[in-house]
């Protein structure tokens, strides 16, 4: 009985022994990642022929995190109604005003004072015009940034020292886009930390080169997303107000009571006509006085040329007679042809 089981036991022991020897002779090119993220490598290896598994594992981890973040963002979008109060809405507010004023300089001073009062700043300003001939002298375009809770008070205050003829307001909800940027930053930061840990423990030049290449790419993507997040934060915390102001002689868009009777309509028409005539005469006077030197020079040149031609004709009357004779012959020829 003992001899019967001795030979199988001997064979089984030999198989276990050879399997253990094969496992202990494993190459150092096999790099493992356990659940805790620790790095293992054998030290007795000649070279690494394949791509470093640690880098591949890092990339797989990044892709897995991206898939999870995408799925999470999708779930947030689908369950927005159920998570109200948990996810903070991210909104970019933009408004525009078109204003008319008869006191352009005073309007600019008041606008700057209000910007400072509400804690905003002037991002862009452009003033054009200053035409001395027209009734609309100057036009200005301002881009103003104010804290988002001060946007409406700022809009209301502009109407106190100018006549608002048109206004618009817009809100852009970027909650989902902002959440995606946050998820990408979190994923890339985790991968960055993982790569730095692997780089500290890497023992081979090929591993170091591949890790540094991936780390450089991760750093670039991380800075790109952080820059986008800072841009979002600035646009969210400071709303944009565009103000277009025009200097006019008369506020044209003020609503006035329409004349009812025939006499009122005639009086209103006569008043408007006289106002137009006055503005036209004033514009002509300004133009004439501004260009009086040019006008005098032009008249002097034309008069001088005319006098020169007259004197030349008086000194050479034969030319004048010859010219008149040719004209008479031409007239007689035309008369004969008509007959």
Q: Which is it for the CA torsion 207, 210, 214, 217, positive or negative?
A: positive
Please say whether the beta carbons of 1 and 7 come within 8 A.
no
Domain boundaries along the sequence of the chain? 52-73+89-255, 292-325
- pLDDT, tens digit (0-9, with 9 covering 90-100), for 52-77: 444 444 455 455 555 544 444 445 44
| Residues shown for the chain | 339
Per-residue pLDDT, 125:
92
Alpha carbons 206 and 213: distance in angstroms, whole number? 11
Task: Specify the pairing of strand 91-101 against strand 238-247.
Answer: parallel
Give CA separation, 286 vs 136, 137, 281, 293, in Å. 15, 13, 9, 13
Name the nearest CA neighbour of 194 among 52, 58, 51, 31.
58
- According to DSSP, residue 119 is labeled T
pLDDT score of 261 more than 60: yes
In the chain, what percentage of residues exceed pLDDT 70? 62
Residue 262's pLDDT band, with cuts at 50, 70 and 90, is confident
- pLDDT, tens digit (0-9, with 9 covering 90-100), for 213-256: 999 999 999 999 999 999 999 999 999 999 999 988 777 655 55
Per-residue pLDDT, 225:
95
Residue that is written with structure tokens 């100018």 in the block: 162
pLDDT score of 7 more than 50: yes
Alpha carbons 68 and 62: distance in angstroms, whole number? 10
Collapse the DSSP code of 300 into the 3-class scheme (helix H, G, I; strand E, B; otherwise coil) and give the result: helix
Please say whether the beta carbons of 171 and 88 come within 8 A.
no
Q: What token pair was written down for 54?
A: 């640690």
Interval 309-338 mean pLDDT: 64
Q: What token pair was written down for 291?
A: 């260009």
């Amino acid at each position: 009985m003992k001899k019967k089981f001795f030979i199988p036991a001997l064979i089984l022991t030999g198989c276990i022994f050879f399997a253990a020897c094969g496992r202990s002779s494993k190459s150092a090119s096999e790099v493992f990642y356990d659940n805790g993220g620790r790095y293992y490598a054998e030290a007795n290896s000649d070279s690494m022929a394949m791509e470093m598994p640690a880098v591949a594992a890092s990339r797989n981890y990044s892709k897995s995190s991206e898939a999870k973040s995408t799925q999470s963002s999708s779930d947030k979008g689908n369950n927005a109604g159920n998570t109200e109060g948990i996810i903070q809405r991210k909104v970019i507010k933009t408004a525009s005003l078109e204003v008319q004023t008869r006191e352009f300089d005073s309007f600019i001073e008041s606008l700057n004072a209000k910007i400072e009062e509400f804690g905003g700043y002037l991002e862009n300003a452009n003033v054009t015009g200053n035409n001395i001939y027209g009734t609309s002298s100057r036009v200005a375009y301002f881009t103003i940034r104010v804290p988002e809770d001060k946007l409406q008070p700022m809009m209301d205050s502009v109407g106190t020292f100018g006549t608002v003829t048109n206004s618009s307001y817009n809100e852009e909800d970027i909650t989902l886009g902002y959440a995606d940027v946050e998820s990408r930053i979190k994923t890339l930061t985790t991968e960055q930390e993982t790569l730095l840990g692997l780089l500290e423990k890497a023992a081979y030049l090929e591993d170091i080169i591949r890790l540094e290449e991936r780390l450089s790419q991760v750093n670039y993507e991380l800075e790109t997303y952080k820059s986008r997040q800072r841009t979002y934060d600035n646009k969210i915390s400071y709303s944009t107000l565009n103000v277009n102001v025009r200097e006019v002689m008369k506020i044209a868009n003020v609503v006035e009571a329409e004349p009812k009777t025939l006499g009122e309509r005639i009086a209103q028409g006569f008043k408007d006509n006289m106002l137009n005539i006055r503005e036209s005469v004033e514009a002509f006077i300004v133009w004439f006085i501004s260009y009086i030197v040019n006008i005098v020079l032009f008249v002097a040149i034309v008069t001088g040329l005319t006098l020169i031609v007259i004197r030349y004709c008086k000194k050479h009357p034969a030319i004048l007679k010859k010219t008149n004779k040719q004209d008479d012959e031409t007239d007689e020829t035309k008369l004969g042809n008509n007959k």
